[in-house]
């Protein structure tokens, strides 16, 4: 069972295995059609496509009309139903990939763990690693038998905006922001309406989890770097712009052997939806 990362070489030996499902998670925050277009142009053999906006996220507003962020968590049963259509069941080994160092694939990795599914990994190095290994792409779209994925107790914790607000007073938990340093400081904000960060949050840009080759750094290096920021992973809250790239930091923590951190799903986009919530800059 692969539960964090898998190499292109290891995936290639299972690419035709009916007990494995490969999921293309490519996406572009500024061009919402880019991922599906890229999938149509060429994808890993047998791969299915999971759209970040419509499959791996839920409604942006709650029943009370309150804004929940740009990529709120989907309803667990609705998500499971979509994944069943991909052919995923309780014994399936799932491999997620993208072309962005795991930026979007980590979201599916985390979501499946949230549904209680252990056998899920991210293709280390993504599309580039697959092609560098001389492996083929295809435009063929296969139809898989429907799966029977169960919704079970999650392996991963979450926190609400209320809990993050309460933490401003208690300071018991460390908040880690996965966005680029300039956005964290409140500079060059082009996605959300307000720049800055949650007061007290520290910055760990998710791309710092990767080496120059676009693959994750070795576990020991990640443990040293992340351990310098986080004393107790179980007291850590991971966030980003909308709850997507925070999953990359959560994956890095798992690779490093530092499990237990929680995701704040609404992240910065939900936080600034209420002007009463404080903002820090610099």
The two tokens of residue 44 are 């890993």
* Rounded Cα–Cα distance for residues 27 and 50 (Å): 9
| Residue among 16, 1, 8 nearest 214 (CA) | 8
Residue with tokens 């676009």: 214
- Out of 94, 201, 240, 261, pick the active-site residue: 240
| Residue among 203, 198, 194, 243 nearest 226 (CA) | 203
| Residue among 171, 224, 166, 161 nearest 200 (CA) | 171
Does the annotation count 240 as an active-site position?
A: yes
Q: What is the CA radius of gyration of the chain?
A: 18
Which of the residues are catalytic?
240
């Amino acid at each position: 069972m692969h539960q964090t990362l898998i190499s292109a070489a290891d995936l290639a030996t299972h690419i035709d295995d009916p007990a494995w499902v490969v999921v293309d998670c490519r996406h572009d925050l500024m061009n919402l059609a880019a991922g599906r277009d890229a999938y149509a142009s060429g994808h890993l053999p047998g791969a299915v496509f999971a759209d970040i906006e419509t499959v791996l996220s839920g409604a942006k507003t709650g029943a009370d009309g309150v804004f929940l962020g740009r990529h709120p968590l989907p309803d667990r049963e609705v998500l499971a139903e979509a994944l069943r259509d991909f052919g995923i069941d309780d014994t399936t080994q799932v491999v997620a990939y993208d072309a962005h160092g795991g930026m979007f694939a980590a979201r599916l990795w985390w979501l499946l763990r949230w549904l209680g599914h252990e056998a899920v990994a991210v293709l280390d190095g993504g599309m580039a690693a697959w092609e560098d290994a001389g492996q083929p792409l295809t435009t063929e779209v296969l139809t898989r038998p429907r799966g029977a994925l169960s919704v079970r107790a999650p392996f991963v914790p979450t926190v609400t905006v209320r809990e993050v607000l309460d933490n401003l007073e208690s300071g018991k938990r460390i908040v880690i922001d996965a966005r680029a340093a300039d956005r964290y400081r409140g500079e060059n904000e082009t996605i959300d309406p307000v720049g800055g960060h949650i007061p007290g949050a520290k910055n760990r840009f998710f791309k710092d989890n990767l080496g120059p080759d676009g693959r994750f750094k070795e576990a020991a290096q990640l443990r040293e770097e992340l351990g310098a920021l986080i004393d107790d992973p179980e007291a850590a809250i991971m966030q980003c712009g909308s709850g997507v790239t925070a999953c990359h930091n959560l994956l890095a923590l798992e690779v490093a052997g530092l499990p237990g951190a929680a995701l704040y799903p609404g992240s910065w986009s939900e936080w600034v939806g209420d002007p009463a919530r404080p903002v820090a800059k610099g």
